[in-house]
Amino acid sequence: MTLLDWLQILLYLGVLTALSPLLAAYFARIFEEKKPLPTLPLGWLERGIYRVSGIDETEEMSAGRYSARLLAFNAVGLVALLAVLLFQRHLPLNPQKLPNVPFWLAVNTAVSFTTNTNWQAYSGESTLSYGVQSFGLCVQNFLSAATGMTVLLAFIRGIARQTAKTLGNFWSDLVRSMVYVLLPLSLIWAFSLTSQGVVQSWAPYPVAQTVTGGQQVIPLGPAASQIAIKQLGTNGGGFFGVNSAHPFENPTPFSNFLEMLAILLIPSSLVLMAGRMVGDRRHGRMLWIVMMVLWVAVLSVALFDEFHSKGDSWLGMEGKEQRIGVASSILWAESTTCASNGSVNAMHSSLSPAAGGIAMLNMMLGEVIFGGVGVGLTGMLVFVLVTVFIAGLMVGRTPEYLGKKIESYDIKMAMIAVLAPNVMILAGSALGVSTQAGLAGRSAAGPHGLSEILYAFTSASANNGSAFAGLNANTNFYNITLAVAMLSCRLAALLPIINIAGSLAAKQRIPVSAGTLRTDTTLFAFVLIGVVLIVGALSFFPALCLGPILEQALLGLGRIF
């Protein structure tokens, strides 16, 4: 690694650390206010949405009503996006006259963007029109990210309230997440990216004359607006097929830095915001430090192995970001899989086996290392509940979390949220490697072929969306099975959290006593890290041994796949 590589990583860490508390304070003010914020520049937009839609933003909702509104809203969005994809040829803003999207690919794509996964089994520039990209996919990037934030807000209120039957208003949380958080930040990022040369055009694809006398079609499109929200909303879906490895999506080192920063910016800030809103900033800082320690650890292992295994040989540069360097590719890969982002600036199939395995492990842990917008923190809070439950069993006390007793119902819901993705990852991968339809998509045999299939089901189940880049997933088998994984695991990640929030809100807060387990100490942080690694990773150790770990051992013997 060069000095510039180290400086880039330190700058990234420094800017993220500096901006997170500032945004956390801003977010806390937005979501703690009960009335529209007329003093903010976009206050008129919030009030207008309520007026046009007839929403009563002051209505308090129980956990059941909150969940029902969330499910109904996203179901409508799923059906609408599916219809847009299936009738693309008949819709405006299609200068290339692209045909309708095939049915099962359309189902997979609609589920993918509605669940904030953004798994893409297609190449955007040759499959989707400008209209579908902008008014279908880009809109869902906002809505799915805001949905994740609403669940976090419900969970925070469940902790902060006592003897309460309600968790707030879903519609108000949704609107404020979009109007005051996602929209202004996306505008800032979109203008910044266009200044670096990211395309934002509605013109048809031009045809260029090559030096050999041939013709080349140059894909364009309104990309900058979608890239901004894909990164900030931890969506990750690329406007072009190769995502942010495409020079029109990511043309300069500064655009690369901006896009990487956007991946973790909101998730990092939400952790500190939660500490403010529950009245325990020390606990929020402790959770942030735990996530940062895990992020630095996985990044360090991946960087060390990539440079140690391949060094400066051609093998080290294959599939990497040639303009910006190997270190940038690894920094992006680990950040995008720690969050449920899934965007890439290099092909993960070309990572060293250990680095690719670490990227997989990040998702297998439930993407609790910052994670997706809203749902990353709720995933970590589920592990916090499991940690205090285990600690309570060890000392013979009823477990407590921030003054609330953690009972059997809470732990049952927490284990559903933890285990459902595990089951789907392993069951889906088993189906993939045991059927001809699953094996037919591989680009390599041996442990690397297993990694391709394992990575696909891990990415879909973790709502990440990145791919190993070697698997041909545009088949009926993968379009159907991965859609099932994305939808079922998204529901398993959201609905148990809201149920836990409702359970916690109804409880009386218990005064702190000598036997209370403090959750803002270094000791608790170490125990939490241990629970995350053991509970989150142990289930996948045999599969990882047959995939990236075996491939890493064979790489040492000169075998490559």
pLDDT in tens, 427-462: 999 999 999 999 998 888 889 999 999 999 999 999
CB 382 within 8 A of CB 365: no
pLDDT digits (tens, 9 = 90+) for 504-528: 999 998 887 766 778 888 888 999 9
CB 270 within 8 A of CB 342: no
CB 270 within 8 A of CB 375: no
In a domain? residue 212: no
In a domain? residue 469: yes
CB 505 within 8 A of CB 466: no
In a domain? residue 211: no
Tokens of 90: 């008949």
Distance separating alpha carbons of residues 487 and 473, to the nearest angstrom: 17
Distance separating alpha carbons of residues 263 and 360, to the nearest angstrom: 17
Distance separating alpha carbons of residues 163 and 8, to the nearest angstrom: 49
In a domain? residue 365: yes
What is the reported pTM?
0.92
CB 523 within 8 A of CB 328: no
In a domain? residue 561: no
Distance separating alpha carbons of residues 524 and 504, to the nearest angstrom: 21
Range of the domain at 401: 3-206+218-556
Tally of structural domains, the chain? 1
CB 340 within 8 A of CB 462: yes
pLDDT digits (tens, 9 = 90+) for 67-76: 999 999 999 9
Helices (H), 33-137: 43-53, 63-86, 103-114, 124-127, 130-132
Question: Which among 335, 330, 325 has a CA at the least distance from the CA of 304?
Answer: 330
Q: How is the chain split among helix, strand and coil, in percent rounded to 5? A: 65, 0, 30
- Cβ-Cβ contacts under 8 Å for 51 (sequence gap 6 or more): none
In a domain? residue 213: no
Tokens of 414: 């927490």
* Torsion angles phi and psi, residue 388, rounded to 5: -70, -30
Least-confidence region, from 111-125, 155-169, 321-335: 321-335
Q: Which residues pair with 209 in a beta bridge?
A: 215
Give the distance between the most distant pair of CA atoms in the chain. Answer: 81
3-class SS of residue 310: helix
**pLDDT of 214 strictly over 50:** yes
Per-residue pLDDT at 275: 93
- Identify the residue with better confidence: 537 or 223: 223
CB 525 within 8 A of CB 150: no
CB 319 within 8 A of CB 350: yes
pLDDT digits (tens, 9 = 90+) for 238-283: 899 889 989 999 999 999 999 999 999 999 999 999 999 998 999 9
In a domain? residue 155: yes
pLDDT digits (tens, 9 = 90+) for 48-82: 999 999 988 889 999 999 999 999 999 999 999 99
Question: Which among 15, 244, 256, 238 has a CA at the least distance from the CA of 123?
Answer: 238
- Conformational region of residue 279, where left means phi above 0, alpha means psi within -120 to 50, and beta covers everything else: left
In a domain? residue 475: yes
How large a percentage of the chain has pLDDT more than 70? Answer: 96
